[in-house]
């Protein structure tokens, strides 16, 4: 052991949720250390839709304009069956502060959050990998490997990471936001259990000559979703849910390299399959594809942990729970929860009631997640509802990028009465 660092609050993971927590804390005068095992923010668009409540959260942090400037604004969600439009849900009709969605690649969002953190005087400690946790009476001791990169190879240059030194971080409160394949969740012995069906999706970010409309298109055909999200520039994301192949969870690791070296699963992600998927699954015109900018496939398991706090450690973001991908709830709930948890910490840090307040807050989150997991059961179709909509209502509701009252109001445009117990619009 060569180094020691102390802080009142330590955040593990500088993904969007860890960074949002650090930013909300910093703006409230609480300086947290934030570490990440990677050497930089993610290089890909991964989750890319910010919903109205997330935009409100960014507004409170004073950065909504910068986000909107870097985004593509979407006003409507159009649902198709295999051949025609069945429903249109209009955000622009809602009387709310931000009646639209902002489509921002996750890489841009992360870069923006990092630059805001810098402005607040918080530097992310990149190349710091958390390895072991030791519980103490008044806090946590975390063992962290400081990594260095060493270039290797001649024909194809690449690098490997070596441990430069091991540092002990001592902290009163540790917020674990180390993502879907959370190592610290495993170290804490906290199990994540499945609360829904895992789905697999192939994603293609494309550049086309079709001018993107201000709408997200979603087709539901034989239970499988196909989605087109317009993006800034002439780009858009095509996402195809598929069956018949189970992807390992390391497909969810975030990419940092600007270029993907090889296309595994050529059969799934190759050009030929993309054109077949467009022909058979897109009931709209995708235009002529000039180039495919990025391809990926990922499994989306819907799950939550059995316990959100263990001593002085709290799990946040994908480390704590995940949702179905199309509605982008994993990202949006996480961002809004980050702001709320930071608020609780600001109020009670250093006080004996902090852990109790955190538990109350985490209980609220769980109630909201359960509501999102069970949208089908909380929904009551009205007589005017289209039979196709009624039959597919669980999928339709889960793919609406909204929460709280906004989600209820969007559901009412489908003539579905949604009764969500104790939901809070952040």
Ligand X SMILES: Cc1cc2nc3c(=O)[nH]c(=O)nc-3n(C[C@H](O)[C@H](O)[C@H](O)COP(=O)(O)OP(=O)(O)OC[C@H]3O[C@@H](n4cnc5c(N)ncnc54)[C@H](O)[C@@H]3O)c2cc1C
Which position's Cβ is nearest ligand X? 15
Contact stretch for ligand X (CB under 6 A) within 29-37, 89-97, 204-212, 215-223? 29-37
Near ligand X by CB under 6 A: residue from 147, 331, 372, 385:
331
**Cβ(415)–Cβ(382) below 8 Å:** yes
By CB under 6 A, is residue 254 in contact with ligand X?
Answer: yes
Q: Looking at beta carbons only, is 394 or 417 nearer to ligand X?
A: 394
Structure tokens at 135: 């519980």
How long is the chain? Answer: 426
Between CA 138 and CA 315 the distance in angstroms is 18
Eight-class DSSP state of 125:
B
Q: Looking at beta carbons only, is 385 or 399 nearer to ligand X?
A: 399
Q: Which residues contact 229 (CB under 8 A, 6 or more apart)?
A: 48, 49, 74, 103, 216, 236, 237, 239
Between CA 9 and CA 342 the distance in angstroms is 11
By CB under 6 A, is residue 16 in contact with ligand X?
Answer: yes
By CB under 6 A, is residue 336 in contact with ligand X?
Answer: no
User: Closest approach of Cβ 380 to ligand X, in Å?
Assistant: 26
Q: Residues 182-211: x/- map of binding to ligand X (CB under 6 A)?
A: -x-------------------x--------
Buried/exposed code over 290-304 (b: 16+ C-beta within 10 A; e: otherwise): eebebbbbbbbbbbb
Structure tokens at 23: 């930013």
Nearest alpha carbon to residue 201 among 261, 265, 255: 265
Near ligand X by CB under 6 A: residue from 24, 25, 26, 35:
35
Between CA 304 and CA 169 the distance in angstroms is 27
Using alpha carbons only, what angle is made at residue 156 by residues 150 and 162, rounded to the nearest 5 degrees?
15
Q: Looking at beta carbons only, is 14 or 362 nearer to ligand X?
A: 14
* Sign (positive or negative) of CA dihedral 111, 171, 319, 57: negative
By CB under 6 A, is residue 318 in contact with ligand X?
Answer: yes
Q: Looking at beta carbons only, is 94 or 331 nearer to ligand X?
A: 331
By CB under 6 A, is residue 25 in contact with ligand X?
Answer: no
Near ligand X by CB under 6 A: residue from 7, 21, 33, 46:
46
By CB under 6 A, is residue 105 in contact with ligand X?
Answer: no
Between CA 124 and CA 34 the distance in angstroms is 5
User: How many residues interact with ligand X (rule CB under 6 A)?
Assistant: 33
Near ligand X by CB under 6 A: residue from 68, 74, 86, 129:
129
Near ligand X by CB under 6 A: residue from 25, 26, 91, 177:
177
Near ligand X by CB under 6 A: residue from 11, 30, 47, 231:
47
By CB under 6 A, is residue 106 in contact with ligand X?
Answer: yes
Quote the radius of gyration of the chain (alpha carbons, Å): 22
Structure tokens at 259: 């270029």
Structure tokens at 247: 């992807």
By CB under 6 A, is residue 335 in contact with ligand X?
Answer: no
* Residues lying near ligand X in the complex (CB under 6 A): 12-18, 35-38, 46-47, 106, 129-130, 177-180, 183, 203, 252, 254, 296, 298, 317-318, 325, 328, 330-331, 334
């Amino acid at each position: 052991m060569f180094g020691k660092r102390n802080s009142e609050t330590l955040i593990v993971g500088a993904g969007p949720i860890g960074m949002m927590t650090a930013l909300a804390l910093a703006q409230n005068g609480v300086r947290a250390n934030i570490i990440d095992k990677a050497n930089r923010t993610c290089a890909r668009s991964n989750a890319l839709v910010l919903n109205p409540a997330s935009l409100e959260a960014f507004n409170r942090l004073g950065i909504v304009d910068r986000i909107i400037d870097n985004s593509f604004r979407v006003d409507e969600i159009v649902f198709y069956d295999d051949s025609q439009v069945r429903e249109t849900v209009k955000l622009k009709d809602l009387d709310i502060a931000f009646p639209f969605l902002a489509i921002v690649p996750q890489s841009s969002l992360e870069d923006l959050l990092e630059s805001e953190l810098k402005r607040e005087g918080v530097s992310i400690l990149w190349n710091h990998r958390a390895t072991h946790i030791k519980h103490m009476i008044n806090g946590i001791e975390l063992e962290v490997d400081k990594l260095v990169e060493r270039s290797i190879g001649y024909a194809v240059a690449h690098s490997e990471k070596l441990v430069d030194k091991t540092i002990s971080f001592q902290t009163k409160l540790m917020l674990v936001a180390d993502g879907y394949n959370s190592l610290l969740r495993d170290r804490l012995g906290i199990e994540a259990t499945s609360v829904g069906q895992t789905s697999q999706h192939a994603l293609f970010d494309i550049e086309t000559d079709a001018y993107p409309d201000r709408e997200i298109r979603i087709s539901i055909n034989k239970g499988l979703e196909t989605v087109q999200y317009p993006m800034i520039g002439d780009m858009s994301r095509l996402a195809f849910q598929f069956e018949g192949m189970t992807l390992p969870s390391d497909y969810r690791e975030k990419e940092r390299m600007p270029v993907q070296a090889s296309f595994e699963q050529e059969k799934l992600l190759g050009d030929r399959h993309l054109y077949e998927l467009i022909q058979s699954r897109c009931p709209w015109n995708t235009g002529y594809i000039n180039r495919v900018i990025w391809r990926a496939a990922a499994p989306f398991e819907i799950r939550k942990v059995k316990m959100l706090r263990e001593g002085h450690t709290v799990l946040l973001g994908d480390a704590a729970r995940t949702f179905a991908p199309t509605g982008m709830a994993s990202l949006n709930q996480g961002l809004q929860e980050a702001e709320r948890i930071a608020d609780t910490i600001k109020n009670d840090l250093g006080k004996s009631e902090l852990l109790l307040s955190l538990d109350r807050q985490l209980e609220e989150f769980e109630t909201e997640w359960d509501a999102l997991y069970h949208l089908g059961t909380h929904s009551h179709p009205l007589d005017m509802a289209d039979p196709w909509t009624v039959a597919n209502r669980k999928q339709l509701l889960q793919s609406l990028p909204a929460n709280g009252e906004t989600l209820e109001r969007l559901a009412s445009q489908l003539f579905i009465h949604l009764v969500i117990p104790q939901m809070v619009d952040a």
